[in-house]
Each structure stands twice: as structure tokens, then as C-alpha cells.
Structure 1
Amino acid sequence: MNKEKRLEILTRLRDANPHPTTELNFSSPFELLVAVTLSAQATDVGVNKATDRLFPVANTPQKIYDLGVEGLKEYIKTIGLFNAKAENVHKMCRILLDKHDGEVPENREALEALPGVGRKTANVVLNTAFGWPTIAVDTHIFRVSNRTKFAMGKNVDQVEDKLLKVVPKEFKLDVHHWLILHGRYTCVARKPRCGSCIIEDLCEFKDKTE
């Protein structure tokens, strides 16, 4: 895909949604970190149902740590892999208290050192909580980037590297959200909704649907 097409795609996505953000409910960097950690192999809707119960009771590292692993499980047991996630979040809270004064570090290395936090989660937190121009590549973004030919790669790291190279600076902060929402609601996995897609004429996917 050429530079002009990419620019037009980004411009249309921005015009349609000038101020995109995550669909996870949060009101602090810590709440976002917990929500993103819980969202692995789960839907944002499912995570929100759990955190809407959890956060009014415990929304700081100390309060969640004080719940204990079993107490935390009671709030997140509707989410997939909740046993492992409860262990990770509880350990994460202890580390935040011991090493970071109970604050979420604005630092990639420190974030990725936390239990249950990988590059994708760190990218989301740095982007959405701290305004870094990072691009977290999940299954939606991986699919959209490859299917449209916007930024092709054999794995998420390759797609992230390509996106960082081809997305102009003015779009970098929000492109993660545009692509994930496009993949979630329009360029869906099994049968993309090409007929209602605002970038259909620019997309280089060969098997477009009606």
C-alpha cells in the first residue's frame, strides 16, 4: 500500500472518530492497568462488568492487595482465566507498593516487569494513560493491518514495527484505537462488513463482501 492511501485511510478514520479511546472503563492509570491485564482472552464488555463491581470497593494497589487473592477472585470470576489473573494482579499490587510507591510507572521496562504485563499491555497503558505514541497490536489490529495491506507482518511485533514506520506522527497517538475499533465492528474476522466500511475503496483486500 502506498503512502497516499495510508494517509487517506487515517484521515477518514480520524474524521469519523476524532477523539477515540479504549472501551475499558477506568478513571486512573492503575484502574486501566488492572483492566487491560484482565482483558487478555476476554471481552472489554466482560471486563467492565467485573471492574464495575471491583473498582468501587478496591481501586488502588493497597486496597486490591488487602482483598487477597481469594477476595479478588470473587469480583473477577466471570472473566476467563480468572484464577491466574487474580494471582498476577495481586502480585502486581505488591510490587507497585514495594517498588513504585503505589503508583503505575510511566516506564516500559518497569511495566513489563510486572506479573501478567507484556508488551501489548504496556503499550496500552503508556498510550492511553500517559499519552505516549505507542501502538499496541492485538488480534484485531493484526488482522486489519494485514487484510487491508496497510502494514503487513507475520507476527504482532512485525506489524507493530511496520505501523510505527508508516504512520505519520500526527496520527500515532490514536491509530491504535482507530484500528482496534475498525476490527471490532467493521473489519470483523469471519465476514468483514465491507459494504458499510468507510475505507472500502482504499483497502487492498481481494475478497471483499457485499
Structure 2
Amino acid sequence: MNNNKRRQILERLRANNPNPETELNFSSPFELLVAVTLSAQATDVSVNKATDKLFPVANTPQSIYDLGVDGLKEYIKTIGLYNNKAINVIKACKILIEKHDGKVPENREALEFLPGVGRKTANVVLNTAFGWPTIAVDTHIFRVGNRTRFASGKNVDQVEEKMLKVVPAEFKVDVHHWFILHGRYTCLARKPRCGSCIIEDLCEFSGKVYPDE
């Protein structure tokens, strides 16, 4: 795919959604960090149902740490892998309290040092909480990047590297959200909704699917 076509795709996505936002509910960098940590292999909907009950009770590193692993589990037990996630969140809270005065660091290395926080989670926090031009590649972005040929790669790191290279600076902060939402609601894994896709004519996917097929 050439850069002119990429720009057209980004301009259409921006026109359709000028101010994209994550679908995770949060009101602080710490709440976002917890929500993204919990969202691994889980839907945003399931995470929001849990955090909507958790955050009114505990939404700081100290208050969640005070719940303890078992106390936290009671709030997140409807989310997949909740046992390990509870352990990681409590450990992360301890580090935030002891090393960062209870604040989420605006620093990739410090974020990735936290249990349960990998490159993708760090990218989401840096982008969504702090406005960094990072691109967190999840399954949706990986699929859309490869399927459209916008940014092809054999793994998420390759797709991220390609997107950072080809996405103009003016789009970098928002492209993460645009591609996630596009993959979640239009470019579906099993059967993409090509007939209602706003970038269908620019997409280079060879297996396009239409309603009458």
C-alpha cells in the first residue's frame, strides 16, 4: 500500500471519528492502568462491569493494595484469568506506592517493570493517559493492519514498527483507537463488514465480503 492511500484511510477515519477514545471506563491514569491490565484476553465490556463496582470502592494504588489479593478477586472474578490478574495488580500497586509515590509513571521502562504490564499495556497508558504518539497493537490492529495491507507484519511488534514508520505525526496519537474500533465493529475477524466499511475502496484485502454473499 502506498502512502497516499494510507493518508486517505487516516483522513476518512478521522472525519468519521475526530476524537476517538478508549471504550474502557477510567478517570485517572491509575484507573486506566488497572483497566488495561484486566483487559488482557477479556472484553472491554466485561472489564467495565467489574471496574464500575471496584473503582467507587478503591481507585488508588493504596486503596486497592489494602483490599489484598482475595479482596480484589471478589470484584474481578467475572473476568478471565482473574486470579493471576489480581496478583499482578496488587504487586503493581505495591511498586507504585514504594517507588513512585502512588502515581503512574510517565515512563515506558518504569511501566513495563510493573507486573502484568507489557509493551502493549504501556503503550495504551502512555497514549491514552499522557497523549504520547504510541501505537499499541492488539489483535484488532494486527488484523486490520495486515488485512488492509496498511501495515503488514508477522507479529505485533512488526506491525507496530511499520505503523510508527508510515503513519504521519498528525495521526499518531489517534490511530491506535481508530484501528481498534474499526477492527471491533467493522473489520471483524470471522466476517468483515466490507459493505458498510468507509475505507473499503482503499483496502487491499483480496477476500472482501458483502451482504449478498
| TM category, shorter | over 0.9
Q: Which amino acid aligns with 1:21?
A: E
Unaligned regions of 5+ residues in structure 1, if any? Answer: none
1:21 is matched with 21
- Superposed CA deviations along residues 22-78 of structure 1, whole A, max 9, x for unmatched, are 000000000000000000000000000000000000000000000010000000000
1:177 is matched with 177
How far apart, in 2, do the equivalents of 1:22 and 1:207 lie? 29
1:125 is matched with 125
Residue 44 in structure 1 maps to residue 44 in structure 2: yes
Query: How many residues get paired?
Result: 210
- What's the CA shift for 1:8? 0.2
2:54 is matched with 54
- Superposed CA deviations along residues 60-103 of structure 1, whole A, max 9, x for unmatched, are 00000000100000000000000000000000000000000000
How far apart, in 1, do the equivalents of 2:87 and 2:3 lie? 45
Deviating above 2 A after TM superposition, structure 1's stretches of 4 or more consecutive aligned residues are none
How far apart, in 2, do the equivalents of 1:94 and 1:60 lie? 11
- What's the CA shift for 1:185? 0.2
2:67 is matched with 67
- What's the CA shift for 1:203? 0.1
Q: Which amino acid aligns with 2:120?
A: K
Q: Which amino acid aligns with 1:134?
A: T
Q: Which amino acid aligns with 1:192?
A: P
2:145 is matched with 145
How far apart, in 1, do the equivalents of 2:66 and 2:169 lie? 42
Q: Which amino acid aligns with 2:96?
A: L
TM-score using structure 2 length: 0.98
- Superposed CA deviations along residues 158-181 of structure 1, whole A, max 9, x for unmatched, are 000000000000000000000000
Residue 163 in structure 1 maps to residue 163 in structure 2: yes
How far apart, in 1, do the equivalents of 2:3 and 2:148 lie? 14
Q: Which amino acid aligns with 2:42?
A: A
Q: Which amino acid aligns with 2:58?
A: A
